[in-house]
Amino acid sequence: MSVRLEDIIRGRVTLFNIFIAIVVIAVVTGFINPKFWEPGNWQALLTWYLGLSVLAMGESMVLITGGIDLSVGSIASASSMLLAIALDRWGLPLVLSIVFVLAVTALIGAFHGFFVSLFSPPLPQIMPAFIITLADNIFWGGFATAITLGWPIPLYKYPDLSVIATPWMLALILIIVATISIYIQRYSIIGRYIYAIGGNIDAARLSGVPINKTRVFAYGYSALCAGIAGIIFTALMMTGYPSVGRGQELYAIASNAIGGVSLAGGEGIALGAAIGAFLITLIRNALVLSNVTPYWYDPITGVILGVAVTIDLYRRVRGAK
């Protein structure tokens, strides 16, 4: 059965069709450059995909509530530097350093949720969410650079950190984050609250949904995942790098849009965000192997995001009629 444009626009195409797109891109890229199929290329592709997928799944929690988190990339950068400082400057054990980083990032996210709740209502929640997460995107990105004046912190003398970057550990982290995210969204009470707020916040309020607490949780979870992603990026490079997550928030949002998480709220699932992240990573890898100049990576990703958002908005407008 052929897939019609009308079906795509109306949202009838499932995640299965994203898999089809992945297969097509893989086959075409492999035909253009056989190095695509080499184990080394796939290891690099999957390694860098894992950090983005964790970011995207955390972001999905906020987007489904009808909010937005523009700070996750900078929080990942800040967590990378905080981890490096805890290890190299303070001499903390690795486990304690990781706990410290995750606690700080979760608190940052919880503050975002509190700020949104403070001003919504009367304002639409997207407005304070945009303001506070954009401000923190700038702040934490600048913080990550300022604390070492832009210099990275090498961590090669901490071999335990490299364990996190091993394929089996990265896969385990991905499975754990995906399992927890999907369970929360689909099988928990807080997940029902998240969808209710994103679907119709006024109806959710009348139904007794604890809106403020739910938003604090959603933003806290998003920032926590950003902290995990920052730790992954740090372990991969064995270096605390101040700009490692800069700009990744846009790819996390794009991953959600591609994976069927509505930017208007109330629809989608973390699995879709993870699949969307893989498609974006695959496209970037395909561009590299096809010898496309890196200057075109962001424009192409922007076009993909624009198409995905336009389809989602058109589908919602058609559904409202």
Long-range contacts, 153-160 (Cβ 8 Å, 24+): 153/81, 153/84, 153/85, 153/88, 153/239, 153/240, 154/238, 154/239, 155/84, 155/87, 155/88, 155/234, 155/238, 155/239, 155/240, 156/238, 158/87, 158/88, 158/94, 158/238, 160/94
Distance, CA of 8 to chain centre? 24
**Statement: residue 199 has pLDDT above 80:** yes
**Statement: residue 2 has pLDDT above 60:** no
CB atoms within 10 A of CB 205: 14
Look at residue 316 in the predicted model and tell me its pLDDT.
66
- The pLDDT tens digits for 36-69 are 898 888 888 888 899 999 999 999 999 999 999 9
Helix (H) or strand (E) holding 154, with range, is strand 153-154
Which positions ≥6 away from 169 have C-beta within 8 Å?
163
- The pLDDT tens digits for 29-45 are 888 888 989 888 888 88
pTM for the full predicted model: 0.90
Classify strands 239-240 and 153-154 as parallel, antiparallel or unpaired.
antiparallel
**Statement: residue 7 has pLDDT above 50:** no
Look at residue 153 in the predicted model and tell me its pLDDT.
92
Look at residue 209 in the predicted model and tell me its pLDDT.
93
